[in-house]
Amino acid sequence: MLSASLIKTSPDFGWLNDVSIGSFFGRREMGAAYAAVEPASESPEQPFYHESILLDEVVQFLQPVAGKLMADGTLGGGGHTEALLKAGATVKGIDRDADARAYANERLARFGDRFEAVEGRFGDIATLAEVRGWEGLDGILLDLGVSSHQLDCGARGFSFRLDGPLDMRMGGDGPTAADLVNNWSEAELRQIFWDLGEEKFARKIAAWIISEREKLKFERTSHLADGIEKLLGRRGRNHPATKVFQALRMEVNDELGELRRFLKVAPDLLKPGGRLAIITFHSLEDRIVKQTFRDASKEEIDRPEWPAPQPNPCYVYRLVTRKGIAPGGQEIARNSRSRSSRLRVVEKIQNLAH
Ligand SMILES: C[S@@+](CC[C@H](N)C(=O)[O-])C[C@H]1O[C@@H](n2cnc3c(N)ncnc32)[C@H](O)[C@@H]1O
């Protein structure tokens, strides 16, 4: 049995209000759909963890079949991995979160040695692959961000609706959100609220944090969330601390740094013809993925000062999706968290000249 801490509690971000309700019902629908194909997707004892986004599209693009070796860099509740396993592939599922690995191990035990849950960060995937001897991957998936379980479990400290320690670490290592809020300068805090949260009141919130922490250090999510709510008041349906919590989460977990480190090594890990699929939820992430895929899929590059175009030394991919794939209306209606998601897919080209 899984620990009680995995039991879903209550929703978090504005969009998660609907998400949690939507995903709860969504899971029941999904469970019924799976039942017709194969029993026991999530066993009855397993509490809800996360509803997988763009699931059919991921399977369609990654083309899993028996004999293919794939890595899921964001295992989470194991929903995408399960679909790849059902189609016959062997899957190495990486997650830095022990709750995710425990949950997925239980959910996917029936696939025997075709599945392995691996502790680590996807930014370190080259080292993980080398140490474990994964040679020539046929597919890699990243489904970025946090799981519903992480958001909905107050003790993890991601939630501004549920009181808990101001933590926000996906793995157990490194500085917590409280460390940042209590020790970073006003300018540093302002910068991340602005850059990662796109928070227009970044200046006001950072100034308030500095004066507030002189009186009382921040230790609980409620101290930060309630304080921001008092400072800004309520407008619209989203909690006024939404963007600050998002920025702190992204910084604590170095989410953009992880993505950049992964993108540098991914081509070396894929077989020719192997595919890479990435689901993003944030415009900053999506821009990084889009630009990297675009730059690596041009055979030639050109500059006005050159007499002629030259071969692109970074040419390694063919674009499988020209535009980011968005979820359909039905999926958004069932799971509103999927609304901002975009799926981009590339394929490693077969005959590289360099
Ligand atoms: C959106 S959830 C994945 C859900 C999963 N695709 C499913 O269908 O259940 C993202 C997961 O990725 C993990 N994660 C995020 N960044 C990571 C990183 N850099 N390295 C390893 N795991 C990471 C989180 O801990 C979380 O469990």
11 Cβ closer than 6 Å to some ligand 1 atom:
no
With bands split at pLDDT 50, 70 and 90, how would you rate the model's confidence at 15? very low
- Residue 48 is predicted with a pLDDT of 79
**pLDDT tens digit string along 127-150?**
999 999 999 999 999 999 999 999
Atom of ligand 1 minimally distant from the CA of 72: 6
243 Cβ closer than 6 Å to some ligand 1 atom:
no
Does residue 6 surpass a pLDDT of 60? no
Domains of the chain, first to last: 4-149+272-348 (3.40.50.150), 172-252 (1.10.150.170)
Specify the residue with its C-alpha closest to ligand 1, atom 26. Answer: 76
94 Cβ closer than 6 Å to some ligand 1 atom:
yes
**pLDDT tens digit string along 236-256?**
888 999 999 999 999 999 999
With bands split at pLDDT 50, 70 and 90, how would you rate the model's confidence at 23? very low
123 Cβ closer than 6 Å to some ligand 1 atom:
yes
The pTM score is: 0.88
**pLDDT tens digit string along 144-176?**
999 999 999 999 999 999 999 999 999 989 999
With bands split at pLDDT 50, 70 and 90, how would you rate the model's confidence at 350? confident
331 Cβ closer than 6 Å to some ligand 1 atom:
no
Pairing of strands 69-72, 90-95: parallel
The residue that leads in pLDDT, 319 or 10, is 319
- In the chain, the amino acid numbered 30 is M
Task: Give the rounded percent of residues in the chain with a pLDDT score beyond 70.
Answer: 86
Cα pseudo-dihedral 24, 26, 28, 34, rounded to 10: -140
95 Cβ closer than 6 Å to some ligand 1 atom:
yes
76 Cβ closer than 6 Å to some ligand 1 atom:
yes
Dist. CA 103 → ligand 1 center (Å): 12
Q: DSSP alpha helices (H): ranges in 196-238? A: 202-215, 221-232
Q: How far apart are CA 98 and CA 76, in angstroms?
A: 10
Nearest one of 122, 270, 251, 262 to 194, comparing CA atoms: 251
* Cross-strand partners of 277: 141, 345
Mean local confidence (pLDDT), 210-226: 98
- Residue 146 is predicted with a pLDDT of 95
Atom of ligand 1 minimally distant from the CA of 147: 2
**pLDDT tens digit string along 195-204?**
999 999 999 9
Dist. CA 145 → ligand 1 center (Å): 6
Q: Classify residue 221 as exposed, middle or buried by CB count within 10 Å of its CB (0-12, 13-18, 19+).
A: buried
Handedness of CA 323, 329, 333, 335 (dihedral sign): negative
With bands split at pLDDT 50, 70 and 90, how would you rate the model's confidence at 9? very low
The residue that leads in pLDDT, 354 or 136, is 136
Atom of ligand 1 minimally distant from the CA of 53: 8
Given a contact cutoff of 8 angstroms between Cβ atoms, the answer to whether 312 and 298 are in contact is yes
Q: How far apart are CA 345 and CA 141, in angstroms?
A: 9
- In the chain, the amino acid numbered 194 is W
